[in-house]
Structure 1
Amino acid sequence: MEALETALGFWEDALAAYTAGVTGGVALTSQEEAEFTALLQRVIDDAYTLQDQCEHLFLHQHSVLFRSSSVTPVPSEVAADLFERRTLTSASSYESFVSASGDIADLRDLEEFDEALYPLYQAALKQHEDGGIPYRDVRTDRVRCANDVEYVCKVHCIRLACQLLFSQEGTKQFFADSGRQIIADLLVRADKDPKDVVLAYDAMLEFLTNCEWPDVELELQGRGVKALTFYDVVLDFILMDAFDDLENPPSSVTAVVQNRWLSNGFKESALSTAVWSVLRAKRRMLKYQDGFIAHFYDVSEHLSPVLAWGFMGPDENIRELCTFFKDQIVGLLQDMFSFTTVRYTTVEELATDIMTLATQRSETISQRLGL
């Protein structure tokens, strides 16, 4: 376990030093650099898992070693000594590591193994290298990718998975019903009548059922959206942009909310008025006055003031619910972009894993909001 701790420290130092050395402010790294960091990150993740398993087996008080009479238990003083001695910092251990580094196989020796693990991701890397992959924004840190190349390539894979998922009517209905339920529950918990927002939400769905998709595509292209997928439109453009805006509200809004001389009722009314004014101004600038963005604004007029008050207002209960909702969405994204949580092997397997994650997160949100 001490040797594993030492190796883990070296691997983390190597990843940090290598990443700092190769990026140097460059937005996208090369294919080889992306492969190396992805492989090293997987080694680190697996090492942490092994470390946890070892601790549970050898050190945890509820381990089978301390329960079974057929196994000689580890003396408590030995267990305590092992638990406290987590790192080796002697010069000899470092010299051993350096001398062994010359025996490490060349990265190219691992390419076949890596492709066997993530063939879908490898195809995305090839796509990125040959023709590039369009993207609207880079959210590398938010979704915990090792670098921008990994993020962009995984976006490509997730797009393919979403296209497959939403070719099935059952999937469309699941996400439509889940979205309606979550929005209604949020307003109910904020003591608001959900009737109008549900009507606006259903009108938006009705529009999408009968719309001219080339017009919608042109409309969203004007907002930087590169593909008409659930990830690009709902998760990235709508939800993540909304969370970014709520984390960085205008100073005028902050000044009103933080003014201790104003009543909470006045603050909430002022905040709602500010949100509506912004949406009305944006609506006047729309090229398609009855397009997708217009219908989205109809929903936002009811939902955005509640979210803004939840994140910035003094009501701790509403803030906790809104923060929980945000954390669940961000957690879903981080899971979708994780090599260890979903399978970047085939489009079908990735789609299956994403659907499983979305179902679990939806149930968790609904249970929490429904309490």
Structure 2
Amino acid sequence: MYFDYSRNIRLDPDEGKFTHQLEKVVEEAYKLQELCSQLFLYESSVLFRADSVTSERPSEYYGDRRTLISASSVDSFVSAHSEVADISDFDEFLETSVDLQHLALYQTGLKQFESGSIPFRILRTETMNCQSDIEFLAKVHCLRLGFQYLLEKEDARTWFANAGGQLLNDILWFAERDPKDCLAAYDNLLDYVNDQKNWKQMEEELQGRGVKCLSFYDVVLDFILLDAFDDLENPPSSVLAVVQNRWLSSGFKETALATAVWSVLKAKRQMLKFPDGFIAHFYGVSEHLSPVLAWGFLGPNEQLKQVCLFFKDEVLGFLRDIFNFGIVRYTRVEDLAADIAQIAEERYDRACQRLSL
């Protein structure tokens, strides 16, 4: 896999200056967060001590820098602050305290954002628990680099390919479906993707769907998995009418739902520019998996529904983990790639244990 930033839209000088100033505001907000923590949260604060007029506490993240606060300055601050806002206004800043200057890789992402060269398809800032669109996009840039570095290693590519196949196998077996045809379609998809001669055609196809880069994040996580979850949260009204009809038997509902999915995929196949391209191979897998997931999320089978919800939560959990400053290291590409691999293995093991029950 690879990605290309050559087709990006760049910011003009005024917009670049604005984003740079906004970055400075974010940095000052983190500093304000640390000061507020020292004032109002730490037990060593003068506010919690009646026998002292000063409080000194080293910051966990800011090295040797210390803040000395007098009782009079505390009184002045509290008095002034009470007139304009409640202390709960600072809640959004108190989740974490990270010295972003020490995260060298993340800083490259911010610089890439300033240059206006981080393309994206969908902003998923809230979904990934990011504080701002700038943070989300800078992290996307870093994750593209991390996945690229990781998947340059053959053993990592093999692990991800095998893990995907095993999860497909386990989900279909749990739903009492024979996984043979689905796994054959999955192998065909992998063969197509691993052939570099297909990458140019694949890039053209996916760009038509709004995918900006051929990276694991953009294609597998964002375009395939997250879009699938979005679609299942907002199914067509005709599908809901079938699965929610209490006069129809479960068997009839499941058959009708599967038929509807197959019909939609067949119609989409006929409109493809490349009948043997990436999307066609992806549809080959979807023909076997999508009816099962649709029935699991929308149907009355509670056991299958719980498994499908668990799978969704694990995927979202993996994504939120790798977007989290406190869980992965945005210091170097090598560090980030190693953390991605470790979290992927942990999530995969947990999913396998759950599906084997």
For 1:350, the equivalent position in structure 2 comes to: 336
Instruction: Verify: 1:163 aligned to 2:148, yes or no.
Output: yes
Amino acid at match of 2:79: E
Alignment map for 1:99-118 (pairs within 5 Å): 114=99, 116-118=101-103
Kindly indicate whether the alpha-carbon contact (under 8 Å) linking 1:38 and 1:146 is maintained by their aligned counterparts in 2. no
Kindly indicate whether the alpha-carbon contact (under 8 Å) linking 2:101 and 2:107 is maintained by their aligned counterparts in 1. no
Instruction: Verify: 1:30 aligned to 2:19, yes or no.
Output: yes
Alignment map for 1:228-239 (pairs within 5 Å): 228-239=214-225
Distance 2:311 2:233 in 1: 14
For 2:210, the equivalent position in structure 1 comes to: 224
Amino acid at match of 2:171: L
Q: 1:258 to 1:324 in 2, by over 3 A?
A: same
Amino acid at match of 2:178: D
Aligned residues: 294
Distance 2:147 2:161 in 1: 14
Alignment map for 1:264-275 (pairs within 5 Å): 264-275=250-261
- Structure 1 residue 94: deviation in Å? 2.9
Distance 2:34 2:125 in 1: 18
Q: 1:320 to 1:47 in 2, by over 3 A?
A: farther
Task: Decide which moves more: 320-329 or 130-139.
Answer: 130-139
Kindly indicate whether the alpha-carbon contact (under 8 Å) linking 1:272 and 1:305 is maintained by their aligned counterparts in 2. yes
Task: Decide which moves more: 129-138 or 283-292.
Answer: 129-138
Kindly indicate whether the alpha-carbon contact (under 8 Å) linking 1:34 and 1:147 is maintained by their aligned counterparts in 2. no
- Structure 1 residue 174: deviation in Å? 0.4
For 1:314, the equivalent position in structure 2 comes to: 300
Alignment map for 1:206-285 (pairs within 5 Å): 206-210=191-195, 211-285=197-271
Kindly indicate whether the alpha-carbon contact (under 8 Å) linking 1:166 and 1:172 is maintained by their aligned counterparts in 2. yes
Q: 1:38 to 1:147 in 2, by over 3 A?
A: farther
Kindly indicate whether the alpha-carbon contact (under 8 Å) linking 1:157 and 1:344 is maintained by their aligned counterparts in 2. yes
- Structure 1 residue 177: deviation in Å? 0.4
Q: Deviations over 1:147-175 (max 9, x none)?
A: 11111111000000011011000010000
Distance 2:245 2:294 in 1: 16
Please, which of 68, 79, 93 is the counterpart of residue 95 of structure 1? 79
Q: 1:248 to 1:45 in 2, by over 3 A?
A: farther
Q: Deviations over 1:184-243 (max 9, x none)?
A: 100100011111101111111122223421111111111111111111100000000000
Distance 1:45 1:303 in 2: 48
For 2:315, the equivalent position in structure 1 comes to: 329
Please, which of 141, 157, 161 is the counterpart of residue 126 of structure 2? 141
Distance 1:263 1:275 in 2: 19
Instruction: Verify: 1:296 aligned to 2:285, yes or no.
Output: no
Kindly indicate whether the alpha-carbon contact (under 8 Å) linking 1:41 and 1:146 is maintained by their aligned counterparts in 2. no
Distance 1:93 1:117 in 2: 30
Question: Higher helix share goes to which structure?
Answer: 1
- Structure 1 residue 33: deviation in Å? 3.2
What secondary structure is seen at the aligned counterpart in 2 of 1:212?
Answer: helix
Amino acid at match of 2:321: D
Q: 1:328 to 1:47 in 2, by over 3 A?
A: farther
C-alpha root-mean-square deviation of aligned residues, in Å? 2.8
Distance 2:296 2:35 in 1: 38
For 1:205, the equivalent position in structure 2 comes to: 190
Distance 1:222 1:256 in 2: 32
**Can you give the 5+ residue segments of structure 2 that lack an aligned partner in the other structure?**
1-17, 44-74, 84-97
- Structure 1 residue 30: deviation in Å? 2.8
Report the TM-score, using the length of structure 1 for normalisation. Answer: 0.73
Report the TM-score, using the length of structure 2 for normalisation. Answer: 0.76
